[in-house]
Amino acid sequence: MHSKAISRLLTAFALAYLAFLYIPVLLLPLFSFNDNIYITFPLKGFTLKWYEAMVAAQPLIDSLVASVQVGFAVSVVSTVIGMLAAMGLTRYQFPGKGLITSTIMLPLVIPYIILGISLLSLARQVLDIDLSLWTIVAAHVLVCVPLSMLVLIARMEGFDKSLEEASLDLGEGAWRTFWRVTFPLAVPGIVSSFLLCFSTSFDEFVLAFFLSGNQPTLPIYMYSLLRFPAKVAGALALASCILMGSIILIVFAEWYRRRGIQSQQEGLI
Amino acid sequence: MAATGAIDSGGRPGASGWDSLRRFWRRRPGLRALVLLSPALIILLVMMVAPLLLTVALSFATQNGFQIDRTPTLANYAMLFSPEGNLYRILIVKSLWVSFTATVAVVVLAYPMAYYLAFRVHRRKLLWIILITVPFWTSYLLRVFAWKVILGFNGAINSGLIWTGVIDKPLEFLLYNPTAVTITLAHAWAAYAILPIYVSLEKIDRSLLEAATDLGDGPLRRFLRITLPLSLPGTIAATLLVFIPTVGDYLTPSLVGGTSGIMVGNSIATLYGKANNGPMGAALSIAMMLAITLVVCAFLVLIGPKRLRRQAG
């Protein structure tokens, strides 16, 4: 076999794979400008009426506000908890560290539906609290803390521990050392943790589906539209906007985080 | 470190008490680590361990109208194994099968992509990685929605083919069946497989590959004897990362699966919701978890010894 031929084949495959990843998703914005209630080819003509209808829909605005509130609360709480835990895991040696780390990551591998029904039982049968946006926040924090930790542990392991020791040796207290050394160095990790938690919470459906009260989040509202064929076209404009928003957010977060990792590797910090 | 500050801002004990507290604190790094980790551990305990135990307990209870009878009984499990439980058993097996095919599709497609990324991309690696991870972070709901748009009766494929004159009636087998679920899952979970495989390929010591070439191995033999065995840990991780969560997936089957594409997750949701039979739903969830564990263990046993032998040899 010629390695050049294999190489070309691989490149072709990689490009085809990217197309497979992106084309389905990009069809949503394409049809959102199409002047037809049915999502079919050929395209009929350019229209902005779906976007106009979207802006005018009050339930949609309400659910968007709810999702932003939930996402914001989730990312603040998860990032603070994740930061504390990442410091505990990277700055100290103690027995059972590996076990604790893998236990904290568990929520990421348990099927969400199991977490959803179990949290529902906890809220309704044991704590007897009404479902609201707060129950969704609680559920999202559970799955976002491990995410935040993954990002922050990588960041905290990356920079030189002796910087903190130097600060302590030079007479700064632990509290001031945290704010003047640790925190500034961890900022890229904190920012990307915040963004990842926000977008995870903003997009999450299953947990919110089980734990929402009478106030739906955006994915729940969206799902209710998708189940009625007549409303699917209207959902396209909304889908396109969410898509654009999260792509911008994520590209920024990834670029920011990986730039941080790269500059560390080059010794620039 | 931050926790010292927390004590600082709290009630400050007398000067000597404060100093001895500080000394105590300084001498015990393990304690400091525990304090820092405690919020995460408490959340885990209260919101994961406790609820899961609750679900286990619920699976031994029975539903009486709107009341839950908490007398422990195996009735729900007996039901799963009785003739009336046939529906649930079929559903579990079907879910495992759909996830399995989706996982195979994902891993087989992801491997060459990860290989390309690890060995062929040299300059724009960051760009490629971002390109691959972006769809993974966009809404899962939207990715499933996209496939509904593509595969629908009047969807992109059907209307496109009719428009171009390839067919004159819409193909009915595209949407609302297990195949649609498999395709959608294979698309939605792609990044989960690419990244672990990529990491394990990236870790491979390039001098091993050079050594194999120097000792006369062709590209194919070199791949089979060095690259593939060394990338198995990542590939196995990818397989599990896709297989485990997809078995209980709710969204994909409910949007593109139709009646024939229903999976066990939908049934659990119905039991907790409309059917108002939480205990049965809990039992079905436990059964699903056990089935997943069984399949995963079988898979690891099947692949484990072989892998060890290969890596030793």
Q: Where are the domains of chain B?
A: 13-49, 76-312
Query: Rounded mean pLDDT of A49-64?
Result: 80
Give contacts of A 120-139 with B, CB under 8 A.
Answer: 120-122, 125-126, 138-139
Residue whose structure tokens are 């089935």: B291
Average of pLDDT values for A161-175? 79
Q: Could you tell me if residue A234 is inside a domain?
A: no
* Secondary structure of residue B67 in the 3-state scheme: strand
User: Considering the domain boundaries, does residue A40 fall inside one?
Assistant: no
* Res A160 pLDDT > 90: no
Q: What is the ipTM of this complex?
A: 0.79
Question: CB count, 10 Å around CB of A150?
Answer: 18
Per-residue pLDDT reduced to its tens digit, B75-86: 888 888 888 888
The count of residues in chain B is 313
Please state which of the ranges A262-266, B65-69, B243-247, B299-303 shows the lowest mean pLDDT: A262-266
Q: Residue B106 corresponds to which tokens in the numbers above?
A: 């994902």
**Which CATH number goes with the domain that contains A71?**
1.10.3720.10
Judge whether A235 lies within some domain. no
Give helix B86-115 / helix B228-247 axis angle, nearest 10°.
140
In a domain, A140, yes or no: yes
Q: Is residue A53 part of a domain?
A: no
Distances (CA, A) of A164 to A158, A172, A174, B2: 13, 10, 9, 13
pTM score of the predicted model: 0.81
Six-digit token string for B248: 């209980």
Contacts of B39 in chain A (CB under 8 A): 80-81, 84-85
Can you give the residue range of the structural domain that contains A127? 60-214+248-265
Best of B36, B161, B240 to substitute, by most chain A Cβ atoms within 10 angstroms, is B36
Q: What is the pLDDT of residue A90?
A: 83
* Minimum-distance CB partner of B159 among A41, A94, A145: A41
**Residue B62 carries which DSSP code?**
E
Note whether residue A16 is domain-resident.
no
Question: Is A22 inside a domain boundary?
Answer: no
Amino acid, res. B302: L
B76-312 has which CATH code? 1.10.3720.10
The shortest CB-CB distance from A122 to any of B50, B113, B190 is to: B50
- Give the pLDDT confidence of B185-232 residue by residue, as tens digits: 888 888 888 888 998 888 888 888 888 888 878 778 888 888 888 888
Q: Do the chains contact at A39 and B154, CB–CB below 8 Å?
A: yes
User: In B95-219, which ranges are E strands?
Assistant: none
CB pairs under 8 A between A and B: 268
**Helix H segments across A127-205?**
133-158, 162-169, 174-177, 183-203
Is A219 part of a structural domain of the chain? no
E strand or H helix at B122? none
User: Coil, helix or strand for B68?
Assistant: strand
pLDDT at B10 over 60: no
Mean pLDDT, chain A, whole residue set: 82
pLDDT-derived band at B8, boundaries 50, 70, 90:
very low
For residue A160, give the amino acid letter. Answer: D
Structure-block tokens of residue A81? 């908890």
* pLDDT 10s digits, A141-151: 999 999 899 88
How far, in Å, CA of A179 to CA of A161, rounded? Answer: 15
* Domains held by chain A: number: 1
CA-nearest residue to A227 within chain B is: B255
Average pLDDT over residues A102-126: 86
